[in-house]
Structure 1
Amino acid sequence: MSFDTSWDVDKYKSEFENDDHWQFRRQFLVEHKDKYPEDRLVCLAQVFFNVEFLGCKYPEKTMLLIEKLAEGLADDLREKRKGKLQRTFVAASDAAEARAKGKCQVSSSATKQSLNNLNYTKYSIVSPYHPDYTLPNFIILDANSQNPFEILNRSCDFCHVPKPIILFDKTDALNIKADLYIQQKLIDTAFGKSEKIAKKNVCESALEKLKYICFTIKKKDDDSESHISKSEFIKNETEVNVEPLSSEIITKNTDVDKKLSDDNIGNKLLKMMGWKGGGLGKEGQGRKEPIEVIQLPKHLGLGHKSNIGESAKQKIMFALQREVKKHLIEFKKSSKLRLSFSTEFTLDERKAIHMICLKLGLKTRSYGQGEQRHIVISKKQTAQEIFNELTECGNENEYFVLIPPINQN
């Protein structure tokens, strides 16, 4: 069966996709363009990418199909990627056996790329984005955490590289060996009486070893920052006089207290049915005044019962959101990278600030517990952008310190 091949392959390249990654996917699409419908082939190409670059696993039939379609594709690109992240196709039985033993598949070439063979040689490389850097694109993010495993995990997230993999092997009745890998490279090995102890030991030793060969970006203590107080947005809560953020105010009919005129259609209809004024009903027991007309803000239904126009609490919230939004817009235009709010803000107010930041494309994070809970807002920056900025301003700015590898000091 033949399929339409007139569609443009290049339209499926995403804006920020790495060129090497796209070459893999593109070659897959071009090679099998006449074998599958467009939408299915695009999905298969993404599965191919996920297996190759991310190590994803799929049902056995899918893995076998992808393995067959991948034969002979992009061999030159795979050759260039030696020493970087590699994934191999494995039989479903092998994968199941590995899972049963509590292990993860790691390519055999990875074990040869141990950092133990580097002997801490002093290098002249000045950037983690240099092609000869030991762990390409990897920088240690020291965010004042005392947990080595958390530091390694956050560092990988920060640099957008796969998270560390720890493989355990019971060497004897008393010891368990732990191997820690990053980007398919064996970083270090340690032992312990249990997996928990072995994991702790290998993370501590691996982190110390990485400090010798990798750059570290140390985050300055948040307590040194000045905190913005609520009073900067609302000077006096008892004198708040604002409108809802939607700019649609609840309005009432200004003619509520006026009697219906004689030419009013409703008035005429009632009189035709025998009404002579006063309350409705046989005994005149019904209401005497017209039903009051209230216009609610957009998206609020008839069952909405909260009295927004009269609620002082909601008025204060509207005022706070409006002023915070103005402040954040100015912050986004400024050269300042971080903004810290005081602990005065309530849970609902912090949620509102989070939503405003989400709409403005700002990054938010909460710190502290209970009454010490507060929000820190920052502009979204990649690890490379922060690294470049630090190298241009003497390895330190208001928020971070860049620490070179120990073997370069």
Structure 2
Amino acid sequence: MTDLIQREIISLEDSDVLLICETVPIDGDDSNMDIVSFSSVSDHNIQDIPLINIEIPKNHTENELICDWNVDEYRNAFEPDVHWEMRRSFMVQYKNKIPESELVALAQAFVNTEVFGAVYCEEVTAKLELLGESIAKQYRMFKSKTPKRITARATEAVHDWMKHRSESLKAAERKDQAIQLLGPVFTVTTVEDIFRNYVLLDDNLEESGREFEKLGCGWFVHDVWRNDQKLWEATCTVAGFLLSKAVGPLKKSRQKCTEELLKLFRKKCYKIRVNHNRCWDGYNVERLEVSEDLDMRGNPFDCRLRLPLAAKDQLKEDNVGYRLLRKLGWGGGPLGKHQVGIVDPIEVQAKRGRRGLGLPQLSLRSDGSGLQTPSNNASYLDQLDLSKTSFRIDVGFYRDLMRNFKAKRLGYDLIFSSEFTETERALLTKIATDLDLQCTTITYDYEHYQFVLMKHRVSPHDLLIKIIVENHPIYSTLYTVEPPEDDLERHNKILELCSK
């Protein structure tokens, strides 16, 4: 504790309470901060505040203003010191520029807007913002460093004060306790340890079991054999503990054993469900277009690097289009006055299938998730020479975006807009491959394709911490957490630690 602590004993009916007023560090900084009194904006340093040039009314020149009036006479007996210092500073700063009656009204209106949130007409509001900018900045700085009053029981407050335990330190300790209650137990000795380590993901026992085994605390073992009565017996053993068992025909015994295990985990373990609420055209990365052609590295594109025409694609001298272009002054190469136009003739493709004109005819395969992934994307990428292709997107921005995505190890997908062309998606795939990132292309209607950067794998317990303890806005939207039905006491304890 610093010397700035103020202590006050208040007698209540139940017990005495010690009120401690201490500086609260911002953003978890435990360093001590000095309390800045707003008296710094008084007449002994008011000259340091820069004056704002304002327009003097035509009927009142600077020589006509009466400046010998006393500012302190306008102090109200019920007015707090901070509010008066703001009003007084405002009047002192513009005493020689604005008539007395108008200045007193403006000073009061300024305090009303800054402190109480009052709203005036547009003209008055603009004038107050212009005149009171420097004073308002001082006041906001003062508010950010104002001590915060914390109410606690006398014995606890005295103990914290003597041990120099600040409120921010206590909040960090409570967060650590909540994380420990949510974290796994790496040495499994009881069945309760298994239920604490196991997190049920979308009611999928196999995926949840693989995540459990990654903790290194045991294995999932499913066994089926014939017993002495010639019946099939199915069992599930987790970390050496038998959790479910069923006897009967082969198929029914397996199904019943799985159902009993799933029912048990639903009652005893945390459950995480993915919110499948994304529309087919939903995305979180937009297409940023630039005004000039760029190469695959983001540098200005050199038109001389364009692919030369193949012999079979070149226009012959007996071609009608060739003769017309010659008459118009074309001497070969790219079209246009500055020779930056197209080089290859416009290709005519045969229309096959029932898709719209201009849409690529791709063969598709399902990946089992309801999305459709182009199966020949890799072959198309191999055939395309990106080094001799120009792009109209901000290549450098997307490369930096992918680098940050990899560095932050984010646990959600980056879904790009469907406005990216097929060539641009090929470039994005090349950038992601060079950065060793997993990516794919998805579609819901065989017409709109979207490039997706696959999320970094986040363990189930880390997801619980991000959602329950940290209340992460993105993860809380992507996932829904359900507490164990038979262990609500532990869950309520975690919520209590996070809410303080």
> One fold, TM greater than 0.5?
no
Which has the greater radius of gyration?
Answer: 2
Q: Identify the TM-score tier after normalising by the shorter chain.
A: 0.3 to 0.5
TM-score (norm 1): 0.41
